[in-house]
Amino acid sequence: MIPTPDLSHLTSKDYDNIYEPAEDTFLLLDALEQDQDQLQTLNPGICLEIGSGSGCVTTLLSKVVGPQSLYLTTDLNDYACKVTRRTGTKNQVDIEPIRTSLVDGLLPRLHHMIDILCFNPPYVVTPSEEVGSFGIEAAWAGGLDGREVIDQLLPLISDLLSPKGIFYLLLIHENRPLEVMEILKQYNLSSSIALERRAGRERQYVLKIHR
């Protein structure tokens, strides 16, 4: 059992500015923990989390995999990048947060170099105009079908993943996970549902994606 990362340094003021870990976060953590043996055997060189928020997911990933990997995160919310670094420090994990949208600026340098990729995206169905802010709204506003941010990333996954790379993507029912799996096939990627769970009115899924 991997202990949940220590977030005791974060206050309600921080959570006014960044996403507070919730059931979706914990489902992603459970998926990583469930694959602990496989991820350790993979011996990843570079792990990347998109939309790191509190930094909770990457911190747990580092406890699963070990300190030898490079842990990169992105978030378009500057406050989230700072908090991610603080969470790493609090938990004795080196994390390199990058303020950018999705993976802007990381390709082509990291072409086929990411061994573990994670994203708990803004997945809530909202008006399109709410997508792409730089503040707390960016944590949930997903636009049409909650897919507008997710769909921007799908064409880039194959470029990011190393030959042995695995991508963990959190989705809800409204995002049409089966349709996402079909789109991934167009990029020669296979996927399966690693975990699913009901959280209140949401049906949440973690897709596990690889070549």
Ligand X SMILES: C[S@@+](CC[C@H](N)C(=O)[O-])C[C@H]1O[C@@H](n2cnc3c(N)ncnc32)[C@H](O)[C@@H]1O
Which residues sit at the interface with ligand X, rule CB under 6 A?
19, 21, 25, 28, 50-54, 56-57, 74-77, 80, 101-102, 120-122, 138-139, 149
Least distance from C-beta 163 to ligand X, angstroms?
A: 25
Which CB atom, from 29 or from 113, has the smaller least distance to ligand X?
A: 29
Least distance from C-beta 93 to ligand X, angstroms?
A: 15
Distance set, CA 83 to CA 96, 138, 159, 170 (Å): 11, 16, 28, 21
- Give the residue at shortest CB distance from ligand X: 51
Which CB atom, from 81 or from 113, has the smaller least distance to ligand X?
A: 81
Show the beta-strand stretches assigned E in the chain.
Answer: 46-50, 70-75, 96-99, 114-119, 161-172, 190-199, 202-210
Which CB atom, from 88 or from 121, has the smaller least distance to ligand X?
A: 121
What amino acid occupies position 125?
A: V
Distance set, CA 144 to CA 76, 131, 132, 160, 176 (Å): 20, 10, 13, 25, 11
Rounded-to-integer distance, Cα 25 and Cα 31, Å: 10
Least distance from C-beta 33 to ligand X, angstroms?
A: 14
Which CB atom, from 39 or from 50, has the smaller least distance to ligand X?
A: 50
Least distance from C-beta 88 to ligand X, angstroms?
A: 13
Which CB atom, from 50 or from 95, has the smaller least distance to ligand X?
A: 50
Enumerate the H helices of 55-193 as residue ranges: 56-65, 78-90, 148-153, 157-160, 177-186
